Chains A and B, each alone.
Chain A
Amino acid sequence: MKDIKLNVNGKDYTLNVDENIKLLGLLRDELGLTGAKEGCGEGECGACTVIMDGETVNSCLVMAFQADGSNILTIEGLEQNGELHPIQQAFIDVGAVQCGYCTPGMIMSVKALLDKNTNPTREEIREGISGNLCRCTGYNKIVDAAELSIKYLEEGRR
């Protein structure tokens, strides 16, 4: 067992974790944050994507103890005071959600992209979500949602 400290969605935690536990397991089983999903357990599908110190990670490939001292943002941390994040709203408005299992990871990847590049091209959006598999939509609606997010975020800034 190992003692770690981390911040998840703005909240500080001091935890004693099993060395075998992955960050995904820590979030889901210990902290009850089940928005990040396990689709493959080996970093292929991106359903477990969270943002760790500003970068997207497959939380199934990060050991819990490796998150010691880090800042983690999960899908549960996007909605603020009952108000959806513009990316979440765009996914709803465009109809980019079908079965929903890839959606939290997909939204986190779009968030990480737009945090760094406020006006990406369609190609750059595709590149930004290339680590996230979706089996339902064929991706076009997801790229549309990312484009609409850019607009919503701009409107919010004005």
Chain B
Amino acid sequence: MRLDVVGKNLIRVDAYSKVTGKALYPQDIYIDGMAYGKTLRSEKPHAYIKVDTREAEKLEGIIKIFTYKDVPKNSHGVVFKDHEVFCEKKVRRIGDPIAFVVGESERVCELALKKIVVHYDELEGVFDPLLAMDENSPKVHESGNIMYHYKIRKGNIKEGFKNSHAIVENTYKTHMVDHAFLQPEAGVSFIDDKGRITIMVATQYPHYDREEVAANLNLPQDQIRIINTNVGGAFGGREDISLQTHLALAVYTLKIPVKVIYSREESFIAHSKRHSMIMKCKTGADKDGKLLAMKAVIIGDTGAYASWGTNVLRKAGVHITGPYYIPNVVVDSYAVYTNNPFAGAMRGFGVTQVPIAHEQQMDILAEELGMDPVSIRMINMFGKGSVTATGQVLTESVPLEECLEKVVEGMDFYHREEEAK
């Protein structure tokens, strides 16, 4: 087999434009006669709202202020349509979009944001996912706070623990993380020469964006164009829609180009986060360190909206056993609504959090059994032909053993261990 690309050092197609400053991000696009847009966002995590834009509309230079009343179909979301383009009755997190001001300059839009009166009728919020799972806790959405429950049942868990010589049980917690991509969200909208609504934006999903914008505006998809500019980092944080529908609505209604640039602060408030997780793990092994059973409960805080919570908690559940063969497994993972910032995709989609739990379980088990941390992994790890907890047979290359051997060698692991003693 001849490989043209693999193993070769190739020059990126966009490298030249990026080292010369010619690469265009949405911030860099200027259109004659364009207006600017700014978003009014909730300052309360859980409240009924009433919005009065009349004073703000009187400001000179303000063209229009959009609210839920202006959106033909007000719901969106990558899996469940539980986000509103603009909140109608209730806000569920700090940062929920309430209104979109379009004006002749950024400065006048900022002034208008201050003149919009939002009356908040505050509701009790829920910020701890464990509390949120309680029936009597405040409900973020009508449907209840447990948004998703994923289960694995394999073998006989009771027998597995009964036959175990050592059992370790611990709870691990990871925190929320922001992607902090370097280019804050921005976009420009205009009507193209064929009359189509055109949005230039840095996005991970131009095709999803088109679908969602078309649905929100109640227009056929061929009336919407999403043009992806250069993307200044994303890491999952540009999977959910941010300003695309706001821009589309403005240009559709006003027929003038509109530009939006988020500040760093607004970017933090607006987009998703990595799920914080609580992982309760009980792992059992025989005298030789062979794993016999694992029981895990994972609770992921998906915040105010579902986003990719289903997929993230499913993947966390699938991977909580680590790269190890375990014959008896019970996993329950949950995505839970709270009034925290919403959580979605970020680098690893749930698989990044669970090694904190499964690898520490291995280390602690090894210590209990008087084994070294490498050996306990060597005798349990997946190889070609292994069956995972979900029943998947690994038929392709699984070079884990080789990998660990190289790490041990590269770290000079046993020598270091000796020195540490």
Which residues of A pack against B, CB within 8 Å?
28-29, 32-42, 45, 47, 74-76, 78-79, 84, 88-89, 91-93, 95, 97-104, 107, 133-136
30 contacts between A and B (CB under 8 A): A34-B28, A37-B25, A37-B182, A39-B183, A39-B264, A41-B264, A47-B182, A76-B21, A78-B20, A79-B20, A84-B16, A91-B19, A92-B11, A92-B15, A95-B12, A95-B15, A97-B12, A99-B181, A99-B182, A99-B183, A99-B230, A99-B231, A99-B232, A100-B17, A100-B23, A101-B232, A102-B182, A133-B182, A135-B181, A135-B235
A104 to B21, CA, bound (A): 6
Q: How far is the CB of A150 from chain B (nearest CB, A)?
A: 17
The one of A34, A36, A40, A101 in contact with B233, judged by C-beta atoms closer than 8 angstroms, is A101
Which chain B residues in 175-191 approach chain A with CB under 8 Å? 179-184
Q: How far is the CB of A142 from chain B (nearest CB, A)?
A: 12
CB-based nearest A residue for B186: A38
CB-based nearest A residue for B29: A34
Let me know if B183 and A34 touch, CB within 8 A: no
Q: Knowing A42-B264, A99-B231, A100-B18 touch, does A135 contact B182 (C-beta < 8 A)?
A: yes
Which residues of B pack against A, CB within 8 Å?
9, 11-12, 14-25, 27-28, 30, 179-184, 230-235, 261, 263-264
- Chain A residues near B234: list those with CB within 8 A: 99
A101 to B233, CA, bound (A): 8
Let me know if A37 and B183 touch, CB within 8 A: yes
Let me know if A75 and B21 touch, CB within 8 A: yes
Let me know if B15 and A91 touch, CB within 8 A: yes
A34 to B16, CA, bound (A): 15
Q: How far is the CB of B116 from chain A (nearest CB, A)?
A: 23
A2 to B38, CA, bound (A): 28
Main SS of the interface on chain B? loop
A99 to B263, CA, bound (A): 19
- Chain B residues near A102: list those with CB within 8 A: 182
| 7 closest A-B pairs by CB | A35-B21, A100-B18, A101-B232, A75-B21, A34-B28, A88-B19, A101-B182
A134 to B12, CA, bound (A): 18
CB-based nearest B residue for A136: B233
A129 to B256, CA, bound (A): 41
Q: How far is the CB of B186 from chain A (nearest CB, A)?
A: 10
A104 to B18, CA, bound (A): 7
CB-based nearest B residue for A32: B30
CB-based nearest B residue for A133: B182
Q: How far is the CB of A109 from chain B (nearest CB, A)?
A: 14
Let me know if B19 and A103 touch, CB within 8 A: yes
A110 to B9, CA, bound (A): 23
Q: Knowing A75-B20, A92-B15 touch, does A100 contact B264 (C-beta < 8 A)?
A: no
Q: Knowing A95-B12, A100-B14 touch, does A37 contact B233 (C-beta < 8 A)?
A: no
Which has the most chain A C-beta neighbours within 10 Å: B19, B22, B23?
B19
Q: How far is the CB of B268 from chain A (nearest CB, A)?
A: 10
Q: How far is the CB of B346 from chain A (nearest CB, A)?
A: 12
A99 to B261, CA, bound (A): 18
Q: How far is the CB of A69 from chain B (nearest CB, A)?
A: 24
Q: Knowing A34-B27, A75-B21 touch, does A99 contact B233 (C-beta < 8 A)?
A: yes
CB-based nearest B residue for A78: B20
CB-based nearest A residue for B17: A100
Let me know if B233 and A97 touch, CB within 8 A: no
- Chain B residues near A97: list those with CB within 8 A: 12, 14-15, 18-19
Let me know if B20 and A45 touch, CB within 8 A: no
